[in-house]
Structure 1
Amino acid sequence: MPSDADTLAGLLRAWRGRLLPADVGMESYGRRRTAGLRREELAQLAGVSVDYVMRLEQGRSRTPSAQIVTALARALQLDRTETEMFYRAAGLAPPGAGTVSHHIPSGVQRMLARMSDLPLAVFAADWTLLHSTPLWRALFGAPSVLSDPSQNLIVQTFVENSIADIATAHGGPDIFERALVADLRRSAAILTGDTHFQTFIAQVREQSPRFAALWNEGRAAAHQSMVKTVHSPLVGDVTLDCDVVTVPDSDIKLVVYSATESSPDAAKLDFLRVRAVHSQIPADR
């Protein structure tokens, strides 16, 4: 029989107890009887109910879904080994090597908590949105990952055709589309063992002739930084540098927008930043 410290309930309590609100970008309030995050704080970060967190910690629920485990692991800032342990404690097989990972390394999560005032988002190798800051959502008028976990930039660009109305790459949409497909092709060449990823690509090729044509060109390269104009309904057009950073030893990508200091575009970002803070929308985890 495993000791309590090795059970899903015991692990969840231990991991919650080692985090402070400041570690996850939250303010501490009230008197705390024990160290660590409160259950309601963890529930908020993971997008689950407080009652469900309580049932997991009390051992009354022992079989969370892979989606719940992923959300809790991200909220708890677990590293890859701990995340695999969490999966196994829940009776699930950990995501294998050579597959698209939604794991954000704990060090990156701490960095993101300190960069919450920037328009920044994190994407998986298949360009599924994993995290966005309040300013990102204010800039693009986008929902949070917690409210809509299915957001995918490939689908938005080539299937829904919604990105052109939101932002325009300087040099034309062709530059952005080619960069996006080349980056996806590069990831597909590496993650050959992920059948879901390969199926996703096949489906987009069927749904979008434009994507299929670019895919068939055979280009494979990491996404490059570029200048874009974001068409914000709140502040009008905002011209920004868009930088894409791939985290070392990981497939995830950080996308961050910035403007030259003291420029009109920086002033527009400042306006949106204040609006984002006043709306009190928590950052995704």
Structure 2
Amino acid sequence: MDIDRTGLADFLRTCREALQPEDVGLPRGQRRRTSGLRREEVAALSHMSADYYARLERRRGPQPSEGMVAAIAQGLHLSLDQRDHLSRLAGHHPPARGAESQHVGPGILRILDRLDDTPAEVVTELGETLRQTRMGIALLGDASVRTGPGRSLGHRWFTDPGSRSLYHPDDHGYLSRVWASGLREVIALRGPRSRAAALAEDLLARSEEFRQVWATHEVGVRPRPVKRFVHPEVGLLELQCQTLSDPQQSHSLLVYTAVPGSESHEKLQLLSVVSAP
């Protein structure tokens, strides 16, 4: 497919001008004259240089890669239909939808953008974190540095003992059952050639504990509503986890909150201070 530079430039500009700063979690400021977002704001949201993005809107520069297109689609909070249209304009076939998709829907993103002072993350059905709030990073660590199968918390749980240190030791056995049960259910849903099945095969080859838990054929083991974390800076945190699901993308928004006035609530406030940029 060939790139449609004029169509791409016009579409990017239209989508950018339709967004307001508050739509993407940015402050408006008192002297703002731009209609919609500025180019440099979209570039920052898309993790690319302002010059690179500006050249696309000016019908110049190289053809953006599929990765660049995906980053722009996420930065502009595009819907799936808009993302697919952007891909075609850039000369690429649209990426997969559903369980294989890494594109977080705009509705989930709008909520996440308003939760910067609350630990929250968007995860796939395999436990891969796609987006985090600032406090989500402070609580759970920066997911952007993880690659390969290790992007899945379930995979890290059975292959990297250090990944368990954030969770209360008394919960480790139950959480192992949760991960194995959930993975078995996803495989039944997605099939024996799915990424979930490949993840299970890898774990069977690498973890004796996983082999033992897997052999029980448990299903329906659900996470407890209160999660206990042992954070290296603030200690024990007892947090309730609320979940908002996007069935179209098989993604979940996890929001971690503490009971107001509790010791965990005070520790979350302290964590917010010590992790402030």
In the superposition, the TM-score normalised over structure 2's length comes to: 0.85
SS at structure 2 position matched to 1:206: helix
Structure 1 position 194, deviation (Å) = 6.6
Structure 1 position 33, deviation (Å) = 4.5
Distance 2:193 2:77 in 1: 24
- Which residue in 2 is equivalent to 1:179? 178
Distance 1:179 1:222 in 2: 5
Once the two structures are overlaid, the 10-residue window that deviates more, 122-131 or 52-61, is 52-61
Distance 1:222 1:27 in 2: 42
Per-residue CA deviation, residues 166-189 of structure 1 (Å, 9 max, x unaligned), is 1127x5212112212222332333
Residues 191/16 of structure 1: CA separation in 2 closer, same or farther (3 Å cut): farther
2:202 aligned with 1:203, yes or no?
yes
Distance 1:177 1:258 in 2: 23
SS at structure 2 position matched to 1:172: helix
- Show the 5 A alignment for 1:84-95: 84-95=84-95
Letter in 2 for 1:214: V
Letter in 2 for 1:47: H
SS at structure 2 position matched to 1:41: helix
- Show the 5 A alignment for 1:167-246: 167-168=167-168, 172-192=171-191, 195-221=194-220, 223-246=222-245
Residue 124 of structure 1 contacts residue 130 of structure 1 at CA under 8 Å; is this kept in 2?
yes
- Which residue in 2 is equivalent to 1:255? 254
Per-residue CA deviation, residues 18-55 of structure 1 (Å, 9 max, x unaligned), is 11111111112364443121222112222222222123
Structure 1 position 226, deviation (Å) = 3.3
Distance 1:59 1:201 in 2: 46
Root-mean-square deviation (CA), in Å? 2.8
Structure 1 position 69, deviation (Å) = 2.2
Distance 1:207 1:104 in 2: 31
Distance 1:39 1:104 in 2: 21
- Which residue in 2 is equivalent to 1:154? 154
Residue 21 of structure 1 contacts residue 27 of structure 1 at CA under 8 Å; is this kept in 2?
yes
Letter in 1 for 2:106: S
Distance 2:263 2:86 in 1: 47
Which structure shows the higher helix fraction?
A: 2
- Which residue in 1 is equivalent to 2:133? 133
Q: Which structure has more RCO (C-alpha within 8 Å, separation ≥ 6)?
A: 1
Structure 1 position 196, deviation (Å) = 4.7
Residue 99 of structure 1 contacts residue 192 of structure 1 at CA under 8 Å; is this kept in 2?
no
Structure 1 position 4, deviation (Å) = 6.3
In the superposition, the TM-score normalised over structure 1's length comes to: 0.83
Structure 1 position 273, deviation (Å) = 2.0
Residue 99 of structure 2 contacts residue 250 of structure 2 at CA under 8 Å; is this kept in 1?
no
Residue 100 of structure 1 contacts residue 191 of structure 1 at CA under 8 Å; is this kept in 2?
no
Once the two structures are overlaid, the 10-residue window that deviates more, 124-133 or 90-99, is 90-99
- Which residue in 2 is equivalent to 1:29? 29
Residue 238 of structure 2 contacts residue 258 of structure 2 at CA under 8 Å; is this kept in 1?
yes
SS at structure 2 position matched to 1:267: helix
Structure 1 vs Structure 2: percent identity of aligned residues?
30
Letter in 2 for 1:226: P
Q: Which runs of 5+ in 2 are unaligned?
A: none
- Which residue in 1 is equivalent to 2:53? 53
2:105 aligned with 1:105, yes or no?
yes
Structure 1 position 10, deviation (Å) = 2.3
Per-residue CA deviation, residues 70-100 of structure 1 (Å, 9 max, x unaligned), is 2221221111111111222222222335642
Residue 121 of structure 2 contacts residue 136 of structure 2 at CA under 8 Å; is this kept in 1?
yes
Structure 1 position 266, deviation (Å) = 0.4
Distance 1:186 1:43 in 2: 39
Distance 1:113 1:237 in 2: 27
Distance 1:245 1:199 in 2: 27
Residue 66 of structure 2 contacts residue 92 of structure 2 at CA under 8 Å; is this kept in 1?
yes
Residue 183 of structure 2 contacts residue 196 of structure 2 at CA under 8 Å; is this kept in 1?
no
Residue 120 of structure 1 contacts residue 133 of structure 1 at CA under 8 Å; is this kept in 2?
yes
Distance 1:131 1:241 in 2: 19
Distance 2:96 2:59 in 1: 27
